[in-house]
Amino acid sequence: MTPTRPSRAAGAVVVAAALLALAPAAAASALPVAPVASVGATAGGEDPNLDQTIGELAIVHGERVLESGHLDMGPKYDDGQWRFLIHDDVAKADANAESVWRYPDETVLHVRDEGKLVVPDDPAYAFVGAAAGSEVWVAPQTQDPDVVWIGWNTQDPTVMQTVDRGVTLSLRSVEGPGIMTTYLQSGSFGAPQVLWDSRITEAQPVWVDVNTHTHANWVFTAPGVYLVELTAEADLIDGSHVSDTQRLRFAVGTDTAPAAAFAAAWTGDDGEAAPAGDEGSAAAALAESPPTSPLVPVLVAAIALVAAGIVAAAIVIAVRGARAKRAVLTRRGADAENPADAVDEGVRA
- Pick the most confident of 6-15, 34-43, 171-180, 285-294: 171-180
Could you tell me the pLDDT band of residue 268, with boundaries at 50, 70 and 90? confident
Asked if 111 and 250 count as a contact pair (C-beta separation under 8 A), the reply is: yes
Could you tell me the pLDDT band of residue 95, with boundaries at 50, 70 and 90? low
Could you tell me the pLDDT band of residue 49, with boundaries at 50, 70 and 90? low
Lowest mean pLDDT among 82-96, 100-114, 139-153, 157-171: 82-96
